[in-house]
Amino acid sequence: MEQIVVPKKHNLRRNLTILLVAALIIGSARFAGFSIVGTLSGILRGGRLLGRMFLSPAWSYAPRVVDPLVETIRMSVVGTFIGALVAFPVAVLAAENFIRKPLISRPLRFILNIFRTIPAMVLASLFVAVFGTGAFSGVLALAIFTFGLISKLTFESIEAIDYGQVEALMSLGANQINVLRYAIVPQILPQFLSYTLYGFEVNVRAAAVLGYVGAGGIGQVFEQNLSFRRFDRVGVIIILTFFVVLAIDFVSSAIRRRLV
């Protein structure tokens, strides 16, 4: 039988891509001062450190971790609440299918995008600089972070609603507020509550480190003990924080599953 000859496939593009990616990885590693020897010795040192943290944690220190932990949760609750509260009306204005005023929704979406690109840590250090150390700065940072997160998710939910229900309400002679109350809120409320709970989960984790820049909560105690090299206490803080975050995530996602 006659052989079929097809032209050879050109692999130039693929080879060039591989070369480029390899060059980027090696280049960045050099720039970052990465070395294999350094990493290995780091792992050994890290292992010793972990041993000091978790082999004999200073359990007697636990009672003194409770208050800052509770403060962390409180900060998350208040921050989430304020953030969600502001996020709702803003999301309504930012959704393009309801108000239909591009002059409002476009700039609003742009601002929301900016808000979401700022990490909570950066916000917190900013507020610590302005308002001083303490939980207030942390709450403010969490509120703004939550606001950015929830408003974005919510306005996307509003834009995905069944518009027929809005049309029906308009045909009844309803004004915008009634349309919101009877056609939009019933449709997005479960999602909104779910986003708020999700924001709370994220905030508890974020709040745990916010103290590092002086914004209150467990992070602050963590940072102090770390600087005194009290690794046995650091171990206790990490273990307790871990279980609190785990418990909150568990409960919150269980509720969220029921909501939507």
Partner 1 sequence: MIRFTDVSKVYPNGVRALTDINLTVEEGEFLAIIGLSGAGKSTLLRLINRLIDTTSGAVEVDGMMVNRATGRQLREARRKIGMIFQGFNIVKRMSVLSNVLSGRVAYHPTWRTVLGLFPEPDKQIAYRALQRVDILEKVHARASELSGGQQQRVAIARALAQEPRVMLADEPVASLDPITTVQVMDYLRQINVEDGITTVANLHHVDLALKYATRVVGIRAGRIVYDVPIKGLDRPQFFRDMEQVYGRPIHHDEVLGEA
In the set 82, 93, 170, 239, which binds partner 1 (CB under 8 A)?
A: 170
Yes or no: say if 135 and 217 are a contact pair by the CB < 8 Å rule.
yes
Backbone φ and ψ for 55, nearest 5 degrees, come out as: -75, -40
The amino acid present at 47, given as its one-letter code, is G
Q: Mark residue 79 as left, alpha or beta (left: phi above 0; alpha: psi -120 to 50; beta: remaining).
A: alpha
Is 92 or 120 the residue whose CB approaches partner 1 more closely?
A: 92
In the set 20, 70, 172, 254, which binds partner 1 (CB under 8 A)?
A: 172
Is 16 or 172 the residue whose CB approaches partner 1 more closely?
A: 172
CA distance 181 to 187: 10
178-237 positions binding partner 1, by CB under 8 A? 178, 181-183, 186-187, 189-190
Is 51 or 186 the residue whose CB approaches partner 1 more closely?
A: 186
| Residue 97 binds partner 1, judged by CB under 8 A | no
CA distance 154 to 112: 12
- Coil, strand, or helix at residue 56? coil
Residue with tokens 């990465």: 34
What minimum distance in Å lies between the beta carbon of 187 and partner 1?
7
133-162 positions binding partner 1, by CB under 8 A? 162
The amino acid present at 8, given as its one-letter code, is K
How many chain residues bind partner 1 (CB under 8 A)?
Answer: 21
What minimum distance in Å lies between the beta carbon of 56 and partner 1?
55
> What's the burial of 52, exposed, middle or buried (CB within 10 Å: 0-12/13-18/19+)?
middle
Is 35 or 178 the residue whose CB approaches partner 1 more closely?
A: 178
In the set 77, 85, 174, 226, which binds partner 1 (CB under 8 A)?
A: 174
Residue with tokens 């090299």: 229
The two structure tokens encoding residue 195: 């986003």
Longest CA span, the chain: 85
| Residue 169 binds partner 1, judged by CB under 8 A | yes
Is 30 or 106 the residue whose CB approaches partner 1 more closely?
A: 106
Question: Over the Cα atoms of the chain, what is R_g?
Answer: 25
Q: Mark residue 118 as left, alpha or beta (left: phi above 0; alpha: psi -120 to 50; beta: remaining).
A: beta
What minimum distance in Å lies between the beta carbon of 257 and partner 1?
18
In the set 97, 165, 224, 253, which binds partner 1 (CB under 8 A)?
A: 165
What angle, 0 to 180 degrees and rounded to 10, lies between the N-to-C axes of helices 36-54 and 231-259?
90
Is 41 or 175 the residue whose CB approaches partner 1 more closely?
A: 175
Contact stretch for partner 1 (CB under 8 A) within 53-61, 76-84, 173-181, 232-240? 173-181
Q: Which residues lie near partner 1 (CB under 8 A)? A: 162, 164-165, 167-175, 177-178, 181-183, 186-187, 189-190
